[in-house]
Structure 1
C-alpha cells in the first residue's frame, strides 16, 4: 500500500516522465504531489537522494507490472513469449508511458552519474534473471545469449515509439520476427 514516501516518489516519476530530468526539483515534486513546499526535501534532502530513491521505486513499479503479466502467462514457446513481449510493449508505451519515460531519462542520467549506473545494474540484474527463466521456458537453449539480444531490441523499439510515436504502432511483427530469429531450440544448437 502506498505511503507518503511512495506518493512523493510517484510524483517524482510523474515529473521526470512528464517533463524530463532537468525539470526535477523538490518544489516540482511538491506541486505534483499536491503537498506543501518543503515536503519532498523533508524526506529527500538532496536531488541525488531523490533520484536514488526513485530508481528503486520505478523498479518496484515495473516489477509489479511484469508480475501482473506473469500471473496470466508463462510463455512455453517462442510465439507465447512474443505475445507477452508485445503485451508488455503496449503497457510500457501506453498506460505506463510516464513510468517508462522516467526510466529512460534516468538511464541517460546514469551516463554522467556512475553511482546511478551501479544502482540501475543491480535493479536490472533482477529483471534479467527473471527474463532468462522465461527464455528457458520458451525453449531457448542459451538464455544468456538470447536475453540481451531480445531485451536490447525490445528496449530500442520502446524508446523509438516513445520518442517518435507512430499513429498505428504495431510492435507485433517486429517482436515476433526477432523472437523467432533468436530463440533456437536445444536440438538446433546441438547440430
Structure 2
C-alpha cells in the first residue's frame, strides 16, 4: 500500500497536470499543491518521468474506484439504461472529475511521444470496451465490439468538446442520439 505522502503527491500531480498541463509539472509544484515540505515528492518519485508514472498509477486507482461504484448498480440491461449510464459518465467526467479527466487527456497526448504511458491506460480502455460490447451483445446489437469502439470514441470526443468549451450542452440528448443511431438494428427500422 502506498504511503500517505506518496498518495498526496500523486493526487497533487494529477491536480497540477489537470490545471496547468505537463509543462507545469515539477516536484516543487507538486509539493506545494499537496501541502508537503519541499523535496517530499522527490523522495518517492526521483525523476519527473517517475512522477508522471506515479500520476498514471494513481489515475488508474481513482478510475477503478469510480468504476467499482458504477458497477455496484449492475450493468444496464436496456438501451435507455445504457444511455443514462453514459450520459452520467460524461457529466461526471466533465463536472466533478473535470481536473482528473483533463490530466488524463494531458497524459494521452504525452503518450504520443512516450508510448509506455499509454500501455496501462489502454489496458483500462480495453476493459471498458469489452464491458460495453457485452452490454451491446445483450441488447442484440450487431457487431457489438465495433459498435463499442465507435461509441467510446464518440464519447471521448464529446468529453473533449465539453472540456474545451466547444459543446457545453447537456450530455443526455447527445448520448441518446449517438446510442440510438449506433444500436439501431434492422428490427428497429420502420
TM-score (ref. length: structure 1): 0.88
The size of the alignment, in residue pairs, is: 187
Secondary structure of the structure 1 residue equivalent to 2:72: helix
Secondary structure of the structure 2 residue equivalent to 1:42: helix
Q: Does the Cα contact within 8 Å between 1:66 and 1:88 map onto a contact in 2?
A: no
Deviates most, 100-109 or 133-142: 133-142
Q: Does the Cα contact within 8 Å between 2:16 and 2:25 map onto a contact in 1?
A: yes
Partner Cα distance (2:97, 2:156) in 1: 14
Residue 165 of structure 1 deviates from its aligned partner by 6.0
Find runs of 4+ consecutive structure 1 residues off by over 6 angstroms: none
Matched, 1:177 2:177: yes
Report what 2:77 is aligned to: 76
Partner Cα distance (1:109, 1:59) in 2: 16
Partner Cα distance (1:46, 1:123) in 2: 25
Residue 25 of structure 1 deviates from its aligned partner by 0.4
Partner Cα distance (1:38, 1:133) in 2: 47
Report what 2:95 is aligned to: 94
Q: Does the Cα contact within 8 Å between 1:81 and 1:138 map onto a contact in 2?
A: no
Q: CA RMSD in A?
A: 2.2
Report what 2:28 is aligned to: 27
TM-score (ref. length: structure 2): 0.89
Residues 41-82 of structure 1: per-residue CA shift (max 9 Å, x gap): 100011111111211211221222222222225211111100
Structure 1 unmatched runs, 5+: none
Secondary structure of the structure 2 residue equivalent to 1:98: helix
Residues 134-170 of structure 1: per-residue CA shift (max 9 Å, x gap): 3334443422111111100000001110011656x21
Residue 112 of structure 1 deviates from its aligned partner by 1.1
Report what 1:111 is aligned to: 112
Secondary structure of the structure 2 residue equivalent to 1:72: coil
Structure 2 unmatched runs, 5+: none
Report what 1:126 is aligned to: 127
Secondary structure of the structure 2 residue equivalent to 1:35: coil
